[in-house]
Amino acid sequence: MEERNRAAFGFAPADIDFVLLTHAHLDHCGRLPLLAKRGFRGEIVSTAATRELARVVMLDAAHLQEEEARRDLRRKPHRRTSSAEPAFETEPLYSVLDALNCLDRFGRVADYGKSMDLAPGVRVTFFDAGHILGSASLYLELQEGDRRQTVAFTGDLGNRGRPLLRSPVVPPASHIAVMETTYGDRRHKPIGPSIDEFFDAIAGAFARGGNVVIPTFALERAQEVLWYLRQGREQGRLPALMQVFLDSPMAISATQIFEHHPECFEPQVARQFGAGRDPFALPGLHFTRDATESMAINRFRSGAVILAGAGMCNGGRVRHHLRQNLWRESCAIVFVGYAARGTLARRIIDGAKSVHIFEEEIRVRASIHTINGFSAHADRDELLDWHTQIRPARTFLVHGEEDVMQAFAALLHDTRVEMPEFGQSCEL
Ligand SMILES: [Zn+2]
């Protein structure tokens, strides 16, 4: 993957006129600074909230890569002079400066439901995808001579009934659908039992005298978890004295950006903002930006809920907290998001007896919980429902694990399903 990140795009970046950015998750905006670095001079169009969040995400990614490159240099000093070593081992994919230059490429801001002419014969409309703050599905109207084609693109599609965001809005029926299939082979558990499970996991660990570690994605999931924690505390289902740490500089920034965009929320949440009430405020909540503050959390042996990234535990501060708490029977690790194959999160979820963290073998003795109902992605039925409303003649599946994509393709009728290879071009 690291090599593929550095590979050529498969097209000339300078030839691209527009990038339509659906949302600010790293797997969607993470290579934009590289695109700009390699010659893209066109316009990036997104919603206002996506632009603000993408800024934080891209700068954070650039910063991490610079740090990693520096660490690499220290560890392998001979590489500084050796011309035989490939340059990519020590050079960041892009720098903070590249990310800042990329921000200059952001142009017009898209409002949900309002169409925008990009170029003669190319019109786009962004629809609320209900996935994360500012996320969008796209509807493209393309005209060439007397040929007209419409394309509906899911981006990442959210699920209905989430506490903060509105439900996804489906674009108009289109000739072509381009879809994600992250959960195309399964149905989510309903949210009610998931919340019960979540509160029980926390209360259980506290009763045993332990902590709770929640590996959290910085965008959306962290804020949703804060929302539920506040609810649990207000309903008396979680102890009033619990200490909550949001131990992720990016999640802290994202939470502040959320507070700028009440227009994106469920009406009930928007009203709370309107009344001057911060829906994420919670007694005993600590924002820990500094590394030293983060390390000080180790003092808490019980009664702490620690939210830290990365959600899949493949990096970030959560690994320190796992090292402190994973081997303790009294603690609980609560997974609230997607964990891809090959990640540390997935190994723990799949029942590993011990795992490697910072070159140390750590036994897994804490209780492990996977709360599946909090997903930010539509499940199989919601994806199918979206597809039924679009009624496309052709369907491209472009995002998801291959067996899941195959399983989802088998459920589609009256449409030609295509699963393009990486780098393949398709005529519309
Ligand atoms: Zn996403």
Q: For the segment 298-320, what is each residue's pLDDT rounded down to a tens digit?
A: 999 999 999 998 899 988 899 99
367-388 mean pLDDT: 92
d(CA 331, CA 212): 6
Interval between CA 163 and ligand 1 midpoint (Å): 17
How much is the mean pLDDT over the chain? 91
Task: Answer yes or no: are the C-beta atoms of 238 and 199 closer than 8 Å.
Answer: yes
What percent of the chain stands above pLDDT 70?
A: 96
Q: Please check the confidence at residue 77 and state whether its pLDDT lies above 70.
A: no
Interval between CA 165 and ligand 1 midpoint (Å): 14
pLDDT of residue 245: 96
pLDDT of residue 220: 82
d(CA 73, CA 81): 11
Q: Is 186 left (phi over 0), alpha (psi -120 to 50) or beta?
A: beta
- Looking up tokens 């995002």 gives 399
Interval between CA 49 and ligand 1 midpoint (Å): 14
Tokens at 40, concatenated: 């893209």
Interval between CA 16 and ligand 1 midpoint (Å): 23
352-360 mean pLDDT: 94
What percent of the chain stands above pLDDT 90?
A: 72
Interval between CA 379 and ligand 1 midpoint (Å): 14
323-344 mean pLDDT: 94
Interval between CA 54 and ligand 1 midpoint (Å): 12
Task: Answer yes or no: are the C-beta atoms of 58 and 32 closer than 8 Å.
Answer: yes
Our CA dihedral for 252, 256, 258, 260, rounded to 10 degrees, sits at -170
Interval between CA 25 and ligand 1 midpoint (Å): 5
316-345 mean pLDDT: 94
Interval between CA 203 and ligand 1 midpoint (Å): 30
Interval between CA 362 and ligand 1 midpoint (Å): 31
301-316 burial code (b ≥16 CB/10 A, e <16): ebbbbbbbbbbbbbeb
Interval between CA 53 and ligand 1 midpoint (Å): 12
Interval between CA 131 and ligand 1 midpoint (Å): 7
Please report which confidence band the pLDDT of residue 62 belongs to, taking 50, 70 and 90 as the band edges.
very high
Among 129, 130, 123, residue whose Cα is nearest residue 171: 129
Interval between CA 345 and ligand 1 midpoint (Å): 18
pLDDT of residue 75: 67
Burial (CB count within 10 angstroms: exposed 0-12, middle 13-18, buried 19+), residue 422: exposed
Which span out of 60-64, 111-115, 277-281 was modeled with the highest average pLDDT?
A: 111-115
| Model-wide pTM > 0.85 | yes
Q: If DSSP codes are grouped into helix, strand and coil, which group holds residue 138?
A: strand
- Looking up tokens 């009344």 gives 275
When mean pLDDT is compared across 17-21, 59-63, 158-162, 382-386, the lowest value belongs to: 158-162
Please report which confidence band the pLDDT of residue 76 belongs to, taking 50, 70 and 90 as the band edges.
low
Interval between CA 219 and ligand 1 midpoint (Å): 9
Q: pLDDT digit string (tens) for 210-219?
A: 999 999 988 8
Interval between CA 156 and ligand 1 midpoint (Å): 5
Q: Please check the confidence at residue 28 and state whether its pLDDT lies above 70.
A: yes
Task: Answer yes or no: are the C-beta atoms of 216 and 339 closer than 8 Å.
Answer: no
Interval between CA 116 and ligand 1 midpoint (Å): 23
The distance of Cα 195 from the centroid of its chain, to the nearest Å, equals 21
pLDDT of residue 69: 85
d(CA 395, CA 228): 37
